[in-house]
Amino acid sequence: MKQCVRLNELMPGQHAVVTRLTSNGGLRRRLQDLGLAQGSEVACVQYSPLGDPVAYEVCGTIIALRRKDAHEIEVEEVAYHGCDERQ
């Protein structure tokens, strides 16, 4: 069984699957609207020059999340085996 980590712990290039959202209310709804629902795939793209926010790819879209918001998302790291549509 793989260990769950927080989304803010991913390094650029790592891929994961969302296992749980720990936030409530408006933040939870916002994250779900961005595509960060249980079972969705997410990849860490890059850190900003000062480290916050961080760019993630979700559902083919790049989004920026503050580290404190990304901390509210539990993920399970996976090996990426898909094809890159940008090639």
- 67, 76, 74: which is closest to 22 by C-alpha? 74
Q: Are 74 and 20 in contact (CB under 8 A)?
A: yes
Mean confidence (pLDDT) of the chain: 87
Nearest by Cα to 33 from 21, 44, 16: 21
Across the range 10-14, mean pLDDT stands at 92
pLDDT in tens, 60-86: 999 999 999 999 999 998 876 555 544
- Read off the pLDDT of each residue in 33-48 and give the average, rounded to a whole number: 92
Confidence at residue 83, expressed as pLDDT on a 0 to 100 scale: 53
CATH code for the domain of 40: 2.30.30.90
In a domain, 85, yes or no: no
pLDDT tens-digit readout, 17-28: 999 999 888 999
pLDDT for the residue 86: 43
Angle at 9 between CA 52 and CA 35, to 5 degrees: 75
Residue range 26-42: mean pLDDT, rounded: 92
Three-state secondary structure call for residue 20: strand
Please give the full DSSP string across 43-83, using - where no structure is assigned.
EEEEE-TTS-SEEEEETTEEEEE-HHHHTTEEEEEE---S-
Q: 56 and 62 in contact (C-beta within 8 Å)?
A: yes
What range defines the domain where residue 62 resides? 4-78
Name the domain count of the chain.
1
